[in-house]
Amino acid sequence: MTSLIDEVLLSTPVFDGHNDLPVALRARYGYSVEGLADGRPDLHTDLPRLRAGGVGAQFWSVYVSSGLPEPEAVVATLEQIDAVYRLAARYPDTLRIAYTAADVEEAFTEGRIASLLGVEGGHSLAESPGVLRSYARLGVRYVTLTHNDNTSWADSATDEPAVGGLNDTGRAIVAELNRAGVLVDLSHVAESTQRDALAVSGSPVLFSHSSVQALNDHPRNVTDEVLELLPGNGGVIQLTFVPYFISADVADWSRELQAERERLGLPTSPWSWPRAPRPGEDPARVAEEHAAAFTAPPDDRLKSWLDDHPRPEVTVAQVADHVEHAREVAGVGHIGLGGDYDGVDHQPTGLADVSGYPVLLRELADRGWSRPELEALTGRNVLRVLREAEERAAEPLWPTAPLR
């Protein structure tokens, strides 16, 4: 017998807002895309688990470090975009590059996963309208205005205020995104930037991977006051699963871990931006350079602290609480999902990888969510936002004959 969740996912597969597989492939495998059809348990994402999770469309994050000089960030972003195109070319029976809402729906009917691109941080634009438009032609469908650091034109949620939201350049970039049919993504940005962007954007905005501040006072989470503005703009918040954003206990544990690393004189982050293979280099050899970040055991002193301070676990119910709170404040027409898989080292119990979306949907169904409400959450809302951004664009910059 077909369950309610099966019916939802057959009708409206999950349209996820943020997955960091491209940078995971860069860091761990020198951009090799092999093995994903057979299952890669060392990653959160592979093709069998995307199928098991009911994923029908994915915004692949083409994140690059906001610590890079902006011209270097542009090059690295193009390398990330190339990785997504190579993924789709390697697995054409499963993945399809998509540019429009119609492409996404056609991919659904073909039984393939629509693959779209999200640039995570305005530093990747290098303040160039030409770069922005070039990304749009390549299939970029959102730009997150900042990552963890401010740009010269927008404040980040996790940096010291410097701009005061958006300045004139920032407002011009939002207008150019609207003209190009590229969504303005407000995850990672300061509340002042969120408010300014909502005030000036002529198209619906997106929060590609955020949680709600009312349940955890984390700088990456969205306040109720901003959520209340979403219906007026038509935008969507795609609720994320990141434990630090979901749980105050995990956020506190993370801060204590950072403090202990500093006390011990250890790097506050063991991860650094990995280089890409040069022409003729073996990807495996390049990956070896970065492997220590994933395989080296922790310093014995830090291991002792970790043994005494185990990481708190986050439950599916806690994630569902954030989803329900966003629905209560913004409305069922303004919510979606953005797991942030392969962008963090640990996910909630039951949502450990991309196969977990049905677990969350069952939790919500058990709380009384109807089929139309679940379909709005999984994909209908994001499809609407994507279509409205296309309709309001000054001219289509995407190819009229999508790659198949």
Q: Looking at 20, 321, 363, 390, which residue is catalytic? A: 20
Q: Looking at 46, 196, 340, 342, which residue is catalytic? A: 340
Phi first, then psi, for residue 33 (nearest 5°) are -105, 15
Query: Could you tell me which of 310, 389, 363, 379 has the C-alpha nearest to residue 56?
Result: 379
Query: Could you tell me which of 125, 92, 118 has the C-alpha nearest to residue 107?
Result: 92
- Structural element, H or E, at residue 75: helix 70-90
Residue 56, burial from CB neighbour count under 10 angstroms (0-12, 13-18, 19+): buried
Answer yes or no: 322 catalytic: no
Query: Could you tell me which of 388, 174, 345 has the C-alpha nearest to residue 254?
Result: 345
- Structural element, H or E, at residue 206: strand 206-210
Identify residue 140 by its one-letter amino acid code: V
Answer yes or no: 18 catalytic: yes
Q: Looking at 16, 44, 46, 147, which residue is catalytic? A: 147
User: Distance between CA atoms of 347 and 345, rounded to whole angstroms?
Assistant: 7
Answer yes or no: 334 catalytic: no
Phi first, then psi, for residue 112 (nearest 5°) are -115, 165
Q: Looking at 16, 103, 120, 159, which residue is catalytic? A: 120
User: Distance between CA atoms of 404 and 396, rounded to whole angstroms?
Assistant: 19
Answer yes or no: 42 catalytic: no
Answer yes or no: 290 catalytic: no
Is residue 212 within 8 Å of 221, Cβ to Cβ?
A: yes
Answer yes or no: 123 catalytic: no
Q: Looking at 44, 123, 188, 325, which residue is catalytic? A: 188
| Helix, strand, or coil (residue 295) | helix
Residue 174, phi-psi category: left (phi > 0), alpha (psi -120 to 50), beta (remainder): alpha
Answer yes or no: 120 catalytic: yes
Q: Looking at 159, 176, 196, 209, which residue is catalytic? A: 209
Q: DSSP string of 94-160?
A: TEEE--SHHHHHHHHHHT-EEEEEEEE-GGGGTT-HHHHHHHHHHTEEEEES-SSS--SSB-BTTS-
- Structural element, H or E, at residue 375: helix 371-375
- Catalytic sites, residue numbers: 18, 20, 120, 147, 188, 209, 340
